[in-house]
């Protein structure tokens, strides 16, 4: 069974950093990229970027360019999203998704809820 399992809910203070993990299971991790998508409460989907599963190449949305890092650990088939300098605007659900060669984002994690409050 192919799945992505994300780390649990996070509560952070403004100015702190966030690190979310996304563990792949049931497929060869290095054959696919992982995309990160977030969704503010009551809002639409927002693409944050992607990281390749083999070489760790990245592409970030310009909005997050200066405070985001996406990495991988191939030994554990896990992708990581790090977001720094959090504000209340960073509240929401964060999803990872496998990027198929042609099929788009074909497998999604369950989401990680992030709260930012002083």
Partner 1 sequence: SYELTQPPSVSVSPGQTARITCSADALSKRHAYWYQQKPGQAPVVVIFKDSERPSGVPERFSGSSSGATVTLTISGVQAEDEADYYCQSGDSSGVWVFGGGTKLTVL
Binding site for partner 1 (CB under 8 A): 35, 37, 44-47, 50, 59, 61-62, 95, 97, 100, 102-106, 108-111
Q: Which is nearer to partner 1, 16 or 58 (CB)?
A: 58
Both structure tokens of 68: 């985001």
Q: What is the DSSP string of 37-80?
A: EEE-TT--EEEEEEEETTT--EEE-GGGTTTEEEEEETTTTEEE
Q: Minimum Å distance from CB 88 to partner 1?
A: 21
Instruction: Report, in Å, the least distance between residue 102 CB and partner 1.
Output: 6
Nearer to partner 1, 12 or 47 (CB): 47
């Amino acid at each position: 069974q192919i799945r992505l399992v994300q780390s649990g809910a996070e509560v952070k203070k403004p100015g702190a950093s966030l690190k979310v993990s996304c563990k792949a299971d049931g497929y060869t991790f290095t054959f696919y990229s992982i995309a990160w998508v977030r969704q503010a409460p009551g809002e639409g989907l927002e693409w944050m970027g992607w990281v390749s599963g083999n070489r760790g190449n990245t592409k970030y949305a310009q909005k997050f360019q200066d405070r985001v890092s996406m990495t991988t650990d191939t030994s554990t088939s896990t992708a990581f999203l790090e977001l720094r300098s959090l504000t209340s605007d960073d509240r929401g659900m964060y999803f990872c998704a496998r990027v198929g060669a042609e099929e788009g984002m074909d497998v999604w994690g369950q989401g990680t809820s992030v709260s930012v409050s002083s």
